[in-house]
Amino acid sequence: MSENGTLLEVSDLVTRYPVARGVIGTIARRPRLQVHAVEGVTFSVGAGEMLALVGESGCGKTTTAQTVMRMVEEDSGQIRFRGRDLTGLSHRDLRPIRREMQIIFQDPYESLDPRFRVRDTVEEPLLIHGGGSAAERTEKITEALVRAGLTPPDLYVNRYPHELSGGQRQRVAIAAALVLEPKLLVADEPVSMLDVSVRAGILSLLDELRKSGLGILMITHDLSTAAHFADRIAVMYLGRIVEEGPAREVVRSPRHPYTKALVSVVPKRDPRDRTVPQILKGETPNPVHVPPGCRFHPRCPIAIDACQGTDPALEPVPGGGAEHRGACIRM
Amino acid sequence: MSRELLRVEDLHVWFELDGGGELHAVQGISFQLSEGERMGLVGESGCGKTTSILAMMGLLPPNASVSGKVILDGVDMLEKGEETVAPHRWHDIAMIFQGAMNAFNPVKTVGEQIAEPMLLHGTASGKSVASARVRELLELVGISGSRATRYPHEFSGGMRQRAAIAMALACQPKVLLADEPTTALDVMVQAQILELLVSLTRDLGLTMILVTHDLPVVAQVCDRAAVMYAGRIAEEGPTSTLYHDPRHPYTRMLFAATPDLYGDDAVISIPGAPPRLDRELAGCPFQPRCDSAFEPCPTKEPRERSFDGRHRASCHLNEVPTGATAV
C-alpha cells in the first residue's frame, strides 16, 4: 500500500522488552527472557483516516504506538512515514519528522505540567522546534486552542491545569499536539480517564481533525468507541493483528474467533440487545511465553490440531472485501 | 414480584467542609429492592452514587452527617447510627469497594486476608474452620480452593477481583453493594466478573446494587436502574424502559453520549458540568445542561411523577398536559 495519501506504513514490526533477571538470575545464568510485546505487525494509516488499534491489556497496542513514535526502539521491521523509513534514523534526523507526528496520552491529569499555564504548555513544542517570533507564536497558540475547541482562547491561555476539567485538559493536550501542525496524531486511550458525558466531545473533536486531513492512529480497549469513530479497526492479540478491516464490517461480521468473542462480550446500550456472551476462559497468556502455532489456539473455541502447528498470516477473509483480513486457518 | 428486602427512604448526606460550609452530597434519595433483584446506580463522577452506598453501610467518614432511613428486612439500620448498623454490616449487607482488587496486602496470603474478617466478626470459630470456609468461598467465585495459600501478586487482576468478591460474601450477606466492580478490567475479564455476579444473585438469592458510570454494563446486568444527578435520583425504572422510554432528558442524553457497538446514531456529549453541591440549588439541577429546558426549570424544583411499571422521574416536561411526553 503506497497509494497517494498514505502517511504511515508499518511493516513486520517487532518490539521486545528484556525481562530483568535480577542479581540471582544473572549469577545463576538463567536464560535471558523477553516480553514479545509486538510480534510482526503490519498496518497503514492514510491522511484523513482514523485507524483504531483495539485489544486488551498487554496485547501490544500501546507498545506499537510508542515504537511508531520512536519512544521505544524496535527489534526489526519498518516504519515508513511519508515514504521515509524512520528505523535507524538518528535523533538529529528524526527531529524535523517529529513535529509532523504527535501523540496524546490517556491521562490529562498527569500529562500536563501543573506549573505550566495553558499558554506555556501549548507554546513549549514551538520553542523546541523554533516556532518563530513571540507574536507568531501567540497567533499559533490561539489557533491551536480554537481548533481544539477551547473557545474563546483568551478564557484559557492563563489558566493552570488544576483550574480545568478533565475534558478541557485533554483539549489542552490536543492543542499542544496541533500547534506544530502535524500530519499524524497518535491518540493513546484519549478518553478512558474522562467522564462519559465529555468523552463524546473529545472523540468528535478527533473526528473533525480527521476530516480536515489529519491521519489518526487511535489506541483503545473500547470496541464501541472504535466502531463509532474509526474508519478501520485492527484487533490485536498477544502482539499480533488478528483481524483488520473497515470498522463496521469488523464489528458486524467479525471473522476471527477472538474478534467474535470480543464483540460478543461488549455490553450493549439496549437491554433488549443482550446477547449470549461467548466468554473465553482464563486470561491472555503472558507475552513472555507465547504459545506455539496460532497464539490464540489455547483459548480458541474452534481450534483444531492443525492450529498448534501453524502460525497463520493475515489474509483476506473468504467472501469479504480485500480490505478485510484475518489471521486464522479456520475462517 | 418477590418480597421487599431493602428500602431506602429520603436519604441525605452532608459533608462538613474544612474551610467551613457544607456539601450536600446526597439530597434525599429513596428506592426499594426486592429479594434477588439487581439494581444499577448510575451517573457521572460526583453524583453521589458511592456516598449513598457508603451511607447504607454506615462507613462514611466522621465529617459526614446522615439522615433518612435504610430499612433492611423491616429494621431501620440507621435509627441509632453505628449502634444499629454495626450488627448488620457484612452480616446482612456487604460491599465490594472500588479498586478492592488492588487493596490486598502484598505480604499476606489471599486466604489469610479472606479469613481475617471472619475471625474478627466471630463467624468462624478458630483457624481451621475459617480456612475451610475460605476454600469454600474461593470455589464459589470460581477460584480453586488450593490457591488460598497464594499471595496477591500470584493472582491476575480478574482473580483478585474474584477474591475481593469472596471476601464480601464471607458472612453470607443478603445484600451486596458493588462499587464499580469491573471498571479497571478488560472486557473479557469484565464479562467473566459480571457473569459471576449475576450467577451469585441467582444461586444465593443475593440482592445487588451495582454502582457504575457505565450504562451498557447496567443494561446488560441489572433489572432496574436509578440514574443519579447532583445527589438526587433523576429517574428510576426497568433498564429497558429507561433506554426505550426515558422520562428525564438526563437519562436520554447519557445514553446518547455513550457509543454503542452497533449504534449508528451520532454520539453527543452533554455540555457543561454538574453543579456544585456546596451551595443551595434552585430549580432543576440539570437545567443548565438540559437540551429541553423551558420556563419553570431554572426556578421551580420538578416534582417526582410515577409512570406504569415502577418507573418514576423528576422533570417538568412530565407536567406538561395533553399527553406530551418528556423526551
In this predicted structure, the answer to whether residue B324 has a pLDDT above a threshold of 80 is no
Angstrom CA distances, B11 to B34, B56, B65, B80, B177, stand at 18, 9, 11, 15, 16
Q: What is the DSSP letter of A54?
A: E
Model pLDDT for residues B55-97, shown as the tens digit of each residue:
999 999 999 999 999 999 999 999 998 999 999 999 999 999 9
Q: State how far residue B66 is from chain A, nearest Cα, in angstroms.
A: 27
User: Reading across the β-sheet that carries B311-314, which strands appear in turn?
Assistant: B93-96, B175-179, B207-212, B38-42, B224-229, B232-238, B311-314, B304-307
B194: exposed, middle or buried (Cβ count in 10 Å: 0-12, 13-18, 19+): buried
Q: What is the DSSP string of B136-191?
A: HHHHHTT--GGGGGS-GGGS-HHHHHHHHHHHHTTT--SEEEEESTTTTS-HHHHH
Residue A31: per-residue pLDDT? 81
Nearest-neighbour CA in chain A from B259: distance (Å)? 6
Question: Which of A54, A171, A189, A196 should one mutate to test binding to chain B, selecting the residue with the greatest count of B CBs within 10 A?
Answer: A196
User: Which of B9, B34, B6 is closest to B93 using CA atoms?
Assistant: B6
Q: Chain A: which residues have CB within 8 Å of chain B?
A: 56-57, 165, 167, 195-204, 221-225, 227-229, 251-252, 261-263, 265-274, 277, 279-280, 283-284
Q: Which of B191, B244, B255 sits opposite A265 (nearest CB)?
A: B191
**Mutation site, A109, A168, A195, A279, interface B, largest B CB count within 10 A:** A195
Residue A2: the pLDDT is 41
Residue B128: what pLDDT? 86
| Average pLDDT value for chain A | 93
Q: Which residues of B touch A263 (CB under 8 A)?
A: 261
With a pLDDT cut of 90, the percent of chain A lying above it is: 80
Distance (Å, rounded) from C-alpha B311 to C-alpha A268?
21
Structure confidence at residue A32 as a pLDDT band (50, 70, 90) = confident
Check CB contact under 8 Å for A267 and B192: no
A201, closest residue in chain B (CA to CA): B269
Q: Where are the alpha helices (DSSP H) in B17-174?
A: 49-57, 82-85, 110-120, 127-140, 157-168
Whether B319 and B241 have beta carbons less than 8 Å apart is answered as no
Provide the pLDDT for residue B88.
93
Q: What would the grid cell of residue A209 be?
A: 481533525
- Local confidence band at A3 (pLDDT 50, 70, 90 cut-offs): very low
pLDDT, average across residues A134-145: 95
Would you place residue A4 in the very low, low, confident or very high pLDDT band (cuts 50, 70, 90)? low
Q: What three-state secondary structure class fits A62?
A: helix
Quick one: which of B205, B183, B263 has its CA closest to B34? Answer: B205
Mean pLDDT of A303-310: 95
Edge-to-edge strand list for the sheet holding A101-104? A101-104, A184-188, A215-220, A50-54, A232-237, A240-246, A325-326, A315-316
Confidence of residue B110 (pLDDT cuts 50, 70, 90): very high
The closest of B179, B173, B229 to B205, measured between CA atoms, is B173
Cell numbers for A134, please give them.
Answer: 513571540
**pLDDT for residue A1:** 39
Q: Which of A199, A183, A182 is nearest to A191 (CA)?
A: A199
pLDDT digits (tens, 9 = 90+) for A223-277: 999 999 999 999 999 999 999 999 999 999 999 999 999 999 999 999 888 778 8
The C-alpha of A96 sits at a distance from chain B's nearest C-alpha, in angstroms, of: 36
Which residue, chain included where needed, has cell 454490616? B89
**pLDDT reported for residue B1:** 53
Do A266 and B239 count as a contact with CB atoms less than 8 A apart?
no
Instruction: For residue B326, name the pLDDT band (cuts at 50, 70, 90).
Output: low
B322 confidence band (pLDDT: 50, 70, 90): low
Position with higher pLDDT, B99 vs B15: B15
For residue range B167-203, list pLDDT tens digits in order.
999 989 999 999 999 988 999 999 999 999 999 999 9
C-alpha grid cell, residue B104: 490486598
Q: Are strands A101-104 and A184-188 parallel, antiparallel or unpaired?
A: parallel
Chain A contact for B186 (CB, 8 A cutoff): yes
Which H helix or E strand runs over B15? strand B4-16
Cell of B291: 437540551
Q: Which three cell numbers stand for residue B46?
A: 460526583
pLDDT of A132 > 90? The answer is no
Residues paired with residue B42 on neighbouring β-strands, in sequence order: B212, B227
Alpha carbons B86 and B67: distance in angstroms, whole number: 17
Confidence of residue B325 (pLDDT cuts 50, 70, 90): low
- Model confidence at A176, in pLDDT bands (50, 70, 90)? very high
pTM of this structure: 0.91
- How does pLDDT run across B29-51, given as a tens digit for each residue? 999 999 999 999 999 999 999 99
B108 pLDDT higher than 50: yes
Please report the pLDDT score of residue B257 as a whole number.
95
Question: Is this prediction's ipTM beyond 0.95?
Answer: no
pLDDT tens digit string along A196-222?
889 999 999 999 999 999 999 999 999
Chain A residue closest to B263 (CA)?
Answer: A228
Task: Say how far apart CA B2 and CA B16 lie, in whole Å.
Answer: 39
Residues 65-124 of B with CB under 8 A from A: none
- pLDDT greater at residue A20 or residue A98: A98
Which residues make Cβ contacts (< 8 Å) with residue A25, sequence separation at least 6?
none
Nearest to B192 among A195, A224, A279 (CB): A279
pLDDT for A249: 95
Interchain pair B259, A200: CB under 8 A: yes
pLDDT of the residue at B135: 95
Per the CB < 8 A criterion, the answer to whether B245 and B44 are in contact is: no
All residues of chain B having their beta carbon less than 8 Å from the beta carbon of residue A223 are 187, 261
C-alpha span between B233 and B210 (Å, rounded): 15
